[in-house]
Amino acid sequence: MERTKIGQLLLSGVPGPELDSASAAIYRRVQPGGFILFSRNIKTPAQLRKLIDDLRDLSSVEPVITIDQEGGRVSRLREIGSEPPNAQQFRDKRDIELIRRHGHITGRLLRLFGFNLDLCPVLDISFDDDADNSLRGRCYGRDVAEVIRNAEAFNEALRAENIASCGKHFPGYTCAKIDAHHELPDIGRTRGELDAHELAVFRHFADKIDSMMICHAYYPALEAGRTPASLSHAIITNLLREEFHFGGLVMTDDLDMGAILNHYGLEETIRLAITAGNDMAMICHRVPSVEDAWRTLDHLPSADLDRALENVHHFKAKLPPPDPFSVEEFKRRDAEVWQLRVDTLGEEKAKERSPENGKRSPVETY
C-alpha cells in the first residue's frame, strides 16, 4: 500500500491563518485526505481563501476542506462576518423557509472560500435545552419529528448548493451528562429508547446525507465493551453500515478530545478507528501527530484500508470546484446572512452576538 494513498484516511487541522513551512512539509509527505479549519485559521476573507488555495495546491488529490458552520456560537465564519441564528432559534421561530434559506446561504458562502463539506446538520434531539454537554442551542428539535422536519430543510438546501453535508453526532449525544471534550460520557439509554428517539432520526437520514460523524460516548446497549462509539465496530459497521445501510463517508469526531486522549494512545486510537469502520480519522489540534498516525495506518490490514480508501474516493468524486473569489462577492453573500438573522431574531436581537464562552468547551472542536 502506497503511503501517499493511505494519508487520504486522515482529516487534519491546520495550526494558524497561514500555512507555515513545518506544517506544509508534513502535509506534502502525508497527503491528508482533508483539512478542517477553525476560528484560529480565519482572519480576513482574502486570507481565508488564500489558505484554502494553498492547502489545495499542496494536495496531489483534491482534498476535503471542511468547517463547522452551523449557526450561533458554532459559526466559524462569524470571525469575519455575520453570525447566523443557531438551530434552536430557528426551531423556536417555527418558519421552515427561514431554515431553508439558511441552508442555501450557507452553501453559497462556503463555496466562495473553497469549502466542500460542512460538518452539519446536528441530528441530536434536545431532551434538555439547558444541558451542559456542548450541544446547547445546536439542536433542531425536541423530538424525532421536529428534528427531521427542520434538519431536513437545511440539509436539502445545503446540498443543493453543492456543499456536502455531515450528520452528527451518531448515534445520538444529547443524553450525555458530561462533555466529551473532557471525559468519556456514559449514555445508559436502552436499545428500545435509542430506537424510538435518537436512532430514529439517524435512520431517517441514512440515505439523505453525504457523511456521518461518530461521537465519543459509551453506549452499553450498543457495545459490550467500554468502547467509545467512534472506535466501536458494533456501532459503526454493524449498526450504521449494515443495519442502517449508510453508504456515505464515515468519520470520527476529533480524536484530540479528552474522551479519547485520556484512555488511548495515538497508535491504538488510529488502529481502532479504521478497523471499526471509519473512513477518516480526525486530528484537529496535534498537527505533528498526523505524521505518526500516517505511519500507523501503514500497518493496518489491507482490507480495512482498501474499504476506507474506496469510500473516500467515492465521496471525493462528487466534490465541486470552488467559486471565483472576490471581497465584494463575500460582502454580498454575508449581507444575506445578516438579513436572515434580522428576519429570524428581529432587528434588536440580531445585534446581540452569541457569547463566546459561557459554558462552552474551552477547545474549538464540536
Average pLDDT over residues 288-305: 96
Residue 358 is predicted with a pLDDT of 38
Per-residue pLDDT band at 3 (split at 50, 70, 90): low
Length of the chain: 366
The residue among 131 and 18 whose pLDDT is bigger is 18
pLDDT-derived band of residue 356, with 50, 70 and 90 as boundaries?
A: low
- pLDDT at position 278 is 98
- pLDDT value of residue 355: 81
pLDDT band at 59 (very low <50, low <70, confident <90, very high): very high
Confidence of residue 360 (pLDDT cuts 50, 70, 90): very low
Beta carbons of 212 and 250 less than 8 angstroms apart: yes
Q: How many Å is the maximal CA-CA distance in the chain?
A: 58
pLDDT at 134: 87
Q: Is 290 helix (H, G, I), strand (E, B) or coil?
A: helix
Residue 359: what pLDDT?
Answer: 38
* Span 8-350 CATH architecture: Alpha-Beta Barrel (3.20)
Cell of 197: 428517539
Give residue 331's pLDDT: 98
* Position 116 pLDDT exceeds 80: yes
Sequence-ordered list of residues with C-beta below 8 angstroms from that of 359, at least 6 positions apart, any chain:
132, 136
Per-residue model confidence as pLDDT tens digits over 205-241: 999 999 999 999 999 999 988 999 999 999 999 999 9
Alpha carbon distance, N-terminus to C-terminus of the chain: 32
3-state helix, strand, coil in the chain (%, to 5): 45, 10, 45
Enumerate long-range contacts of 350-357, CB under 8 Å, 24 or more apart: 353/78, 353/83, 354/72, 354/73, 354/83, 354/86, 354/137, 355/73, 356/73
Predicted pLDDT at 32: 98
> Can you read off the three cell numbers belonging to residue 268?
491504538
Q: Which residues are catalytic?
A: 181, 253
Question: Higher pLDDT residue, 323 or 359?
Answer: 323
Determine contact, residues 319/34, Cβ cutoff 8 Å.
no
Residues 146-176 have pLDDT tens digits of 999 999 999 999 999 999 999 999 999 989 9
306 pLDDT more than 90: yes
Q: Predicted confidence band at 133 (pLDDT cuts at 50, 70, 90)?
A: confident
Spans of all domains in the chain: 8-350
The per-residue pLDDT for 132 is: 82
Instruction: Give the pLDDT of residue 131.
Output: 87
pLDDT digits (tens, 9 = 90+) for 237-295: 999 999 999 999 999 999 999 999 999 999 999 999 999 999 999 999 999 999 999 99
Per residue in 75-84, pLDDT (tens digit) is 999 999 999 9
Model confidence at 362, in pLDDT bands (50, 70, 90)? Answer: very low
Q: What is the rounded average pLDDT for all residues in the chain? A: 95
**In the prediction, which pLDDT does 366 show?**
54
